[in-house]
């Protein structure tokens, strides 16, 4: 590998910038369609890695944005690994908070949504040592400048108000790369904002091959994972019209009951125009409620808006409340049953952790062989 690719100012930096260009986005969308077609023909050649940080409880944005798609891919026959990234909680926090409660709740939400622990692997970061050990050689393949240019690192750093960045936050993109590469995932469902992270993963995989070689001369140790973008992005704002965020208190958690859901939706931001229309650019708050109803009902947003018409925001909120509560009625019931049986949830994680460890140990052994570190 050339020195230019390692100095943080040349090839790699250009590659990361290119990952978000319009032309690159179009290529990624086209590639995503190819992957979907390939899955439909034969899902056996695909492995997906996806997951969440247990910084709070999952909400409907998580469900429509990622969880429902994970279930779809699993049911299509794709080899699916779902990570509860507990180590990543401390990248930008001083402590872990009620992490055990959150991990159990997330596990329950996964299963209630349709993740089948017999077909998918649900596991936690901290329980897979070999995964985390891969971070060490991966760190040798990136530079300080590259990491600081990562959009997530930059955004988190700017949000600290001048507080010094932790080493864990700075190296967050490398940890994400290890999550993907330890299991040799070749498909990662992501939003457009996560493409630089995935491109960094691809760079690390390529550099490992170039610097350290291969345990098997016929193939690289780590594959080049592709992004899986949906043709129609699912974007749900918070009930206050801003970005949906647990820290802002503007979310409907999957575990909330029907009355709490109704109370929150009643307070949701709308606008002064009584006529309801789906116009995300000019009427984002109203359109967000329309979209939420449409997703819950399995309908098109324009049809939902036309149904409400001149009935106003009150009618729209009533429709959204009914749609959301009905959509998640069975999920909430199953979630409660699962949380009432913590031994079962612990068993699911124990089994998933054991399966993830077997994969990680094999990958680490192959990486060490390529690095000539088997003694």
CATH superfamily, domain at 256-327: Tyrosyl-Transfer RNA Synthetase (1.10.240.10)
Query: Would you list the domain boundaries of the chain?
Result: 3-234+351-370, 256-327
pLDDT single digits (tens) 187-243: 999 888 889 989 999 999 999 999 998 888 889 999 999 999 865 556 788 888 888
Say which residue the tokens 């003694």 belong to: 375
Residue 247 vs residues 90, 234, 238, 244, 352: alpha-carbon distances, Å: 15, 21, 11, 9, 29
The DSSP result for 211-256, as a single string, is HH--SSTTS-SS--PEEE--SS----B-TTSSB--GGGT---BTT-
Radius of gyration of the chain (CA): 22
pLDDT single digits (tens) 105-116: 999 999 999 999
More confident residue, 248 or 36: 36
Torsion angles phi and psi, residue 145, rounded to 5? -65, -40
* Token pair for 157: 């750093």
Cα dihedral angle (55, 61, 62, 64), rounded to 10 degrees?
A: 180
- The conformation of residue 47, written as its DSSP 8-state character, comes to E
For residues 368 and 373, what is the distance between their CA atoms, to the nearest angstrom? Answer: 5
Beta bridge pairs of residue 82 = 50, 122
pLDDT single digits (tens) 38-95: 999 999 999 999 999 999 999 999 999 999 999 999 999 999 999 999 998 888 777 7
pLDDT single digits (tens) 119-159: 999 999 999 999 999 999 999 999 999 998 988 888 877 77
Round to the nearest angstrom and report the end-to-end CA distance of the chain: 26
Of the candidates 147, 148, 151, the residue with the CA atom closest to the CA atom of residue 19: 151
For residues 192 and 199, what is the distance between their CA atoms, to the nearest angstrom? Answer: 11
* pLDDT class of 164 with cuts at 50, 70, 90: confident
For residues 108 and 254, what is the distance between their CA atoms, to the nearest angstrom? Answer: 10
For residues 190 and 199, what is the distance between their CA atoms, to the nearest angstrom? Answer: 12
Contact between 182 and 204 (Cβ < 8 Å): no
Share of the chain above pLDDT 90, in %: 73
Global confidence as pTM: 0.90
Distance of CA 276 to the CA centre of its chain: 32
Question: What is the CATH code for 3-234+351-370?
Answer: 3.40.50.620
User: Which residues have C-beta within 8 Å of that of residue 371, sequence separation ≥ 6?
Assistant: 137, 212, 213
**Percent helix, strand and coil across the chain, each to the nearest 5:** 60, 5, 30
Please tell me the number of Cα atoms within 13 Å of 206 on its side-chain side.
Answer: 15
- Round the average pLDDT of the chain to a whole number and report it: 90
* Token pair for 130: 């070999």
Q: E strands within the chain?
A: 47-52, 79-84, 120-124, 187-189, 226-228
* Token pair for 373: 């570190």
Residue 220 vs residues 83, 178, 204: alpha-carbon distances, Å: 24, 15, 12
User: Which residues have C-beta within 8 Å of that of residue 243, sequence separation ≥ 6?
Assistant: 237
3-state SS, residue 325: helix
């Amino acid at each position: 590998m050339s020195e230019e690719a390692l100095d943080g100012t040349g090839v790699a930096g250009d590659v990361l910038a290119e990952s978000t260009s319009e032309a690159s986005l179009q290529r990624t969308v086209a590639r995503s369609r190819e992957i979907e077609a390939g899955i439909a023909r034969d899902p056996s050649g695909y492995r997906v890695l996806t997951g969440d940080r247990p910084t709070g409880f999952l909400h409907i944005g998580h469900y429509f944005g990622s969880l429902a798609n994970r279930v779809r891919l699993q049911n299509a026959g794709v080899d699916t690994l779902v990570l509860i990234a507990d180590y990543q909680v401390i990248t930008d926090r001083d402590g872990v908070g009620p992490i055990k409660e959150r991990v159990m709740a997330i596990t329950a939400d996964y299963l209630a949504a349709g993740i089948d622990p017999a077909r998918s692997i649900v596991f936690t970061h901290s329980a897979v040592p070999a995964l985390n050990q891969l971070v060490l050689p991966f760190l040798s393949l990136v530079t300080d400048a590259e990491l600081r240019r990562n959009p997530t690192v930059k955004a988190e750093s700017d949000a600290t108000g001048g507080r010094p960045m932790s080493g864990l936050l700075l190296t967050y993109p490398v940890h994400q790369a290890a999550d993907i590469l330890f299991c040799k995932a070749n498909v990662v469902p992501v939003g457009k904002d996560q493409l630089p992270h995935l491109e960094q993963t691809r760079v690390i995989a390529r550099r490992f091959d170039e610097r350290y070689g291969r345990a098997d001369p016929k193939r690289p140790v780590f594959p080049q994972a592709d992004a899986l973008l949906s043709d129609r992005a699912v974007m749900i704002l918070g009930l206050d019209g801003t970005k949906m965020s647990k820290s802002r208190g503007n979310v409907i958690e999957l575990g909330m009951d029907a009355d709490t859901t109704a109370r929150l939706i009643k307070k949701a931001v709308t606008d002064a125009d009584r006529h309801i229309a789906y116009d995300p650019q000019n009427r984002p708050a109203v359109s967000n409620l329309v979209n939420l109803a449409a997703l819950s009902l399995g309908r098109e947003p324009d049809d939902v808006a036309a149904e409400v018409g001149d009935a106003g925001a009150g009618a729209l909120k009533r429709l959204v409340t009914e749609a959301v509560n009905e959509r998640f009625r069975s999920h909430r019931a199953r979630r409660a049953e699962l949380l009432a049986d913590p031994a079962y949830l612990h068993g699911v994680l124990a089994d998933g952790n054991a399966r993830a460890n077997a994969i990680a140990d094999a990958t680490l052994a192959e990486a060490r062989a390529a690095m000539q570190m088997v003694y």
